Chain A
Amino acid sequence: MSTHTDDDGYTHVAAADELEPGTGMGVVVDGVEVALFNVDGEFHATSNRCPHQRAPLCKVGERKINGEKCWNETRGGFTDAPAVACPWHLWEIDLETGEHAASGKQIGVFDVKVENGDVLVSI
């Protein structure tokens, strides 16, 4: 993936239509793993590794093996908070603050903007 950092510190990480609503994508910006999320058309970005046990948060929304036979078809998901529910153990991490309320643990959140169909992240 090509990344390019603008003068204002934003880096182009993806085309907006590359990321389906309800899913995530992993990108590396300046050596930092970033998880980019599309929550009902709103884009969010956090550190990619879950503060619990380092699951890759970008895999949220991935279809499970035989997902149609499980209660939910995807690994993890999103809540209305909005929060990302981790694909491993469903910790809910607030996408505005990066916090997991029950443990008090926190990860980085990054500013995101969409311009001309491109998603840009500032880390």
Chain B
Amino acid sequence: MASQDADPESEMPAAAYDERIIDLDFHMNPTEAELVRYVEDPVAREKFETVEFGMAPRKAKWDAAWAVPGGNEGLFTQGRAEVAEDVETVAEYFAIDDPIVNIGLNNTPTQHNPVQKNAIVRAANDFALDRVIPEDLHCLLMVPQWDPEYAVEEICRLGDKDGFVGAYGWFGPFSLLGDPAFDPMFEALVAYDLPLVLHGSLSFWPQDTPVGDGMLTWTEQLGFDWPVHAMLTAVNAVMSGVFDKFPDLQVVLEEGGHWWIPFARYRMDEFYEMHPEDVKLHPRVHELGNERLQRTPSDYLRDNFHVTTQPMAPPERSADFEQMLTQSMAEDMFLYSSDWPHQTLDPATWAFTDRAFDEDLRAAVLHENAAELFGI
């Protein structure tokens, strides 16, 4: 194990700079004015120029500002990448060779007006095409999943452009992928060979429900309701036959945790094997004329899903860490993500300082799985 003691200024262990690291969750935040320049629709644009595109009007919700001593630091703890050069500078600090950039408009799903949010998604994709991809950075293409028809349009408009290596959407309290209305979007994603990367969105558990209003800490809000929604997203897609209809569709759950994988794989299999009769009644499975799922539920999890690592939240003991990585099928399913520049930043130190990682596992998690999935 290489020592990092030689250079006190170094952010990462020395060995990290020799390993290829692909980062699946690198947020770029161009200024609002810059993005608005790319809004084509004059009606939407006029409104963006005069009204802030902030949170939808709703009662105040909990966020990281209440949970860190300095307050208000969560989103930009490390800084703010506005142009491609900023991304490159920061990536070097953290030994990231290939940041896969998203223009993180993660509040978009909760915005109410479809004209405005479709316009800003399109503008962000055009910004990426014009300003980020030409600088040799890979990007995710935002898909307006609240409007599957428009999502298809956007995939067809830009999905074959070099540099867009995947599509970007959100998991959360939104329509689940089991809804057959998403089928045209899945078809387009498969046709363009774009994995669907779903990030947690800012909406959290629906407010004005006993559960949503009952969670008063950031640990509950970000730490647990995102994984619950991520897990449900995965199980719902499996049980509704999404991957029987679209066996080549690949889904990545980003920032939704990963230690739930062992629970989901065994519980899904156990439940399904004991109660298989209702699957054929799902509209998609019914349409396919299938009586049963075509594979064991946990097989879909391994073959059609990946999860990102941040925050890794490793156990103290390496032996425990190693077992959890094995149970979670990390060598097949894990993709490294930093979440730069948020306070939940997770530099890949654990891959170099913990004995739970051997050379093969380190390579799989830090770059091989992502390289294969995104063809980079």
Contacts and interface: CB of A to CB of B under 8 A. Distances in A.
B111 interface: no
B9 A59 contact: yes
B4 interface: yes
A4 interface: no
Interface stretch (B65-73, B170-178, B280-288): B65-73
B11 A53 contact: no
Contact of A48 (B8, B80, B81): B8
Interface string B46-90: 000000000000000000000011111100111111100010011
B69 to A, nearest CB: 6
B353 A56 contact: no
Contacts of B353: 54
Given A64-B78, A66-B86, A71-B76, A90 B8 contact: no
Nearest to A75: B78
B215 interface: no
Contact of A31 (B5, B68, B345, B350): B5
B82 A69 contact: yes
A79 interface: yes
Contact of A70 (B11, B31, B68, B80): B80
Interface in B4-44: 4-11, 13, 31
Interface in A66-99: 66-67, 69-72, 75, 77, 79, 85, 88-90, 92
Nearest to B345: A88
B318 interface: no
A119 interface: no
A69 B71 CA distance: 16
A56 B11 contact: yes
Nearest to B77: A90
A77 B68 CA distance: 13
A65 B69 CA distance: 22
Contacts of A69: 31, 76, 80, 82
Contacts of A85: 69-70
B349 A90 contact: no
Contacts of A90: 68-70, 73, 77, 343
Contacts of A35: 8
B227 interface: no
Contact of A65 (B70, B81, B346): B81
Interface in B342-361: 343-347, 349-350, 353
- A-B residue pairs, 5 tightest by C-beta: A26-B8, A64-B79, A65-B79, A70-B76, A66-B80
18 contacts: A26-B9, A31-B5, A33-B5, A53-B350, A55-B347, A56-B9, A56-B11, A64-B78, A64-B341, A65-B78, A69-B31, A71-B70, A71-B72, A75-B78, A75-B79, A88-B78, A89-B344, A92-B69
Interface of A: 26-28, 31-35, 48-49, 53-56, 58-59, 64-67, 69-72, 75, 77, 79, 85, 88-90, 92
